[in-house]
Structure 1
Amino acid sequence: MAESFFATLKTEFYYRRMWPTRARATRDVGAWIEDRYNRRRRHSQIGNVTPVDFELRYSNQQAEVQLAA
């Protein structure tokens, strides 16, 4: 699993850019992981949906339960 992650990081993000400093590269890679990879990658443990979709579905279900009560 780690090999797949690093392959995606390198091909989709890292090799396409150049950074003026190491600190900037570290910050940008962290932002990519948080914003793109973690939010858009489908997770098998939550029904093969993205975390954002899962949270939206859960929030909508909770709202419906509260309205029904």
Structure 2
Amino acid sequence: MFLDAPRTVLDRSRLLDLMAGREAKAYDRAIDNQISRLRRKIEDDPKQPRLIVTEWGGGYLLAAEVEAAQ
């Protein structure tokens, strides 16, 4: 999802809609948990993320430059 829309804030409800098989009302914090797990895997310091950034009151965004593979 982030690779399709780099440097674009994706709010929690949009991310939930894009996740297959999830009901937004039942899993409103599921996105936060998934982002936390993803950060632990890809960030040098997950407590101070530089790749997947939180936009307070907005959502999350991929802050890295993205290029299409050739």
Q: TM-score, normalised by structure 2?
A: 0.32
Higher strand share: 2
- Give the structure with higher Rg (CA): 1
Structure with more relative contact order (C-alpha pairs < 8 Å, separation 6 or more): 2
Q: TM-score, normalised by structure 1?
A: 0.32
Higher helix share: 1
